[in-house]
């Protein structure tokens, strides 16, 4: 381990660190990565006090098992050598020093005595009253729910005993090594007696909390590239002279249509601040430039950014160029595919795609958004509007029990190919239909919605239902239909990628003259015809 730490201290951050750790902890490990702003608790500053201990064993446990109640996942799937190397990199960030682990054992305690100590030793003053205190980074103290919440250090007796003994370095929680070990054991026994089933709900940062600055967002556009006038416009047609395949793919993408009639039609009657908020993602380089075009991702501060994989990346003399690892990482997509806590509805932002991915098995496996949405550098960014991409995401299985007088159909849909919920956001809607047939005549049927259904009341959004399927998860439905002579069952899964927008456009056009708001009418027609069949099963009944 010491040899690995020495190697890590002499080398630049590894590709492993860049892909798995830097998005949250930052390139230097200070907890200021591009994804830090959408997480609560915030990622740890690995160069400062560590709440769960700074020994090699403590670090290894956090990497292997993750940290409950935070966005830190378990990396057990990584080979042992890679996990050991990550421990070494963290130790190198900390100067190579690793304190000895704490081997105290809790033993048995009295919950009755612990309940008295909870009040007399000052625990209740903080954990019950939850005063507004700050940690060493100036962030609000994150008081854990000791009854139902997941505990970062674990809830086994040894974990609780260690937490009480050494406190939480960097937070207002002090070390209680001055308490007799017997009293610490009693407090552990009382805490254990209060624990119920732990909840797993992800939390958003408190509103108004300053977010770490992102050096790559918002885009700076083409300003400063005076040496190459061809790039000053930032237009895709100019970039296409050297990158024709990428430009042709991009022109068919949703990125190219991000400032389409649906968006422009909603600008009617809106003030400049409302439009500016939308343009932040729908036209980040300027309202007159290609919606989400080449410049939105590849031009910053007068330089062209690339991944350094193409021979012509640096071929033009005089072109300011820089390799940017984030172009291959999910946190590069975060600014437009993740909203902050100010957009939360019932605790979950309306656009929560990055956090859905971060809570999935894909993050610890190193599978980024680009692996699925830009395979081999494809610039079509295939997503919910692409039938083949959607078909790769969902797997449908069915079991049928056909006995008179009813047919029981059990359907299971597994999210096997999307690194986020199926479908993500409140915009698309999946529809599962089970229908009986008698010859060519349709019989009884049952339908279910798969999505996040929203309703706006009294000026605010509310979640009516959320039936989406998390990455790697399964959704199950059961239909009981009267057979009435039916001889076949049809099971079909449909996706309507613009379901929510179609409803918004219809409501906006209600009561208007036939020729009014032509942009919205065009957008409504496109939205209402964008649905497609994902999978269909026709099964003969015995």
- Please give the Cα distance from 423 to 497 (Å, whole number): 9
How many Cβ atoms are within 10 Å of 457's Cβ, its own excluded? 7
Model confidence band, residue 228 (pLDDT cutoffs 50, 70, 90) = low
Of residues 342 and 471, more confidence is placed in 471
Model confidence band, residue 42 (pLDDT cutoffs 50, 70, 90) = very high
Q: Which of 505, 432, 534 shows the shortest CA–CA distance to 475?
A: 432
pLDDT over 80 (residue 317): no
Q: Which of 385, 427, 399, 401 shows the shortest CA–CA distance to 534?
A: 385
- Please give the Cα distance from 227 to 418 (Å, whole number): 42
Give the length of the chain. 542
pLDDT at residue 101 in the model: 62
- Please give the Cα distance from 390 to 531 (Å, whole number): 12
Section 61-65 average pLDDT: 96
- Please give the Cα distance from 239 to 329 (Å, whole number): 22
Q: What is the pLDDT of residues 408-431, one digit of tens each?
A: 999 999 999 999 999 999 999 999
Whether this prediction's pTM lies above 0.85 is answered by: yes
Model confidence band, residue 242 (pLDDT cutoffs 50, 70, 90) = confident
User: What is the Cβ-side half-sphere exposure of residue 338, based on CA atoms within 13 angstroms?
Assistant: 23
Please report how the helices 2-10 and 80-93 are oriented relative to each other, as an axis angle in degrees rounded to 10. 60
DSSP alpha helices (H): ranges in 305-415? 334-337, 353-358, 362-365, 369-373, 387-393
pLDDT at residue 4 in the model: 42
pLDDT over 80 (residue 202): no
């Amino acid at each position: 381990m010491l040899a690995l730490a020495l190697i890590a201290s002499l080398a630049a951050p590894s590709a492993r660190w860049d892909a798995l750790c830097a998005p949250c902890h930052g390139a230097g490990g200070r907890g200021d990565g591009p994804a830090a702003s959408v997480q609560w608790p915030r990622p740890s500053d690995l160069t400062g006090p560590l709440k769960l201990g700074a020994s090699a064993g403590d670090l290894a446990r956090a990497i292997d098992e993750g940290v409950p109640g935070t966005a830190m996942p378990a990396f057990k799937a990584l080979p042992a050598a890679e996990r050991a190397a990550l421990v070494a990199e963290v130790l190198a960030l900390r100067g190579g020093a690793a304190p000895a682990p704490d081997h105290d054992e809790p033993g048995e305690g009295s919950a009755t005595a612990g309940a008295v100590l909870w009040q007399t030793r000052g625990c209740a003053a903080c954990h019950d009253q939850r005063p507004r205190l700050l940690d060493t980074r100036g962030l609000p103290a994150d008081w854990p729910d000791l009854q139902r919440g997941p505990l970062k250090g674990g809830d086994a007796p040894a974990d609780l005993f260690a937490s009480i003994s050494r406190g939480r370095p960097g937070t207002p929680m002090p070390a209680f090594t001055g308490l007799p070990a017997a009293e610490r054991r009693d407090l552990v026994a009382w805490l254990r007696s209060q624990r119920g089933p732990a909840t797993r709900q992800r939390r958003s940062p408190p509103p108004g909390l300053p977010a770490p600055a992102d050096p790559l967002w918002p885009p700076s556009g083409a300003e400063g590239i005076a040496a190459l006038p061809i790039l000053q416009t930032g237009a895709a047609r100019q970039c296409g002279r050297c990158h024709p395949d990428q430009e042709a793919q991009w022109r068919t993408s949703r990125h190219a249509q991000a400032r389409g009639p649906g968006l422009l039609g909603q600008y009617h009657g809106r003030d400049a601040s409302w439009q500016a908020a939308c343009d932040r993602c729908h036209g980040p380089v300027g309202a007159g430039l290609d919606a989400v075009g080449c410049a939105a991702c590849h031009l910053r501060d007068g330089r062209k950014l690339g991944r350094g994989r193409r021979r012509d990346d640096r071929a033009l003399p005089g072109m300011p160029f820089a390799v940017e690892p984030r172009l291959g990482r999910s946190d590069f997509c975060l600014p437009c595919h993740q909203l902050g806590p100010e957009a939360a509805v019932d605790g979950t932002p309306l656009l929560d795609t990055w956090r859905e991915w971060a809570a999935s098995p894909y993050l610890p496996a190193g599978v980024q958004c680009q692996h699925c949405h830009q395979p081999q550098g494809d610039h079509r960014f295939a997503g919910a509007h692409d039938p083949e991409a959607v078909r790769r995401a969902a797997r449908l299985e069915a079991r049928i029990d056909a006995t008179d007088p009813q047919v029981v159909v059990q359907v299971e849909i597994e999210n096997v190919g999307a690194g986020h919920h199926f479908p993500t956001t409140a915009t698309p809607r999946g529809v599962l239909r089970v229908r009986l047939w008698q010859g060519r005549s349709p019989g009884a049927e049952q339908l279910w919605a798969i999505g996040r259904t929203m309703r706006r009341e009294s000026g605010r959004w509310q979640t009516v239902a959320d039936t989406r399927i998390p990455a790697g998860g399964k959704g199950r439905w059961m239909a009981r239909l009267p057979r009435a002579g039916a001889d076949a069952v049809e099971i079909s899964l449909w996706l309507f990628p613009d379901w929510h927008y179609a409803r918004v456009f219809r409501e906006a056009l209600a009561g208007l003259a036939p020729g009014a708001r032509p942009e919205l009418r065009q957008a409504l027609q496109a939205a209402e015809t964008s649905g497609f069949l994902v999978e269909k099963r026709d099964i003969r009944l015995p």
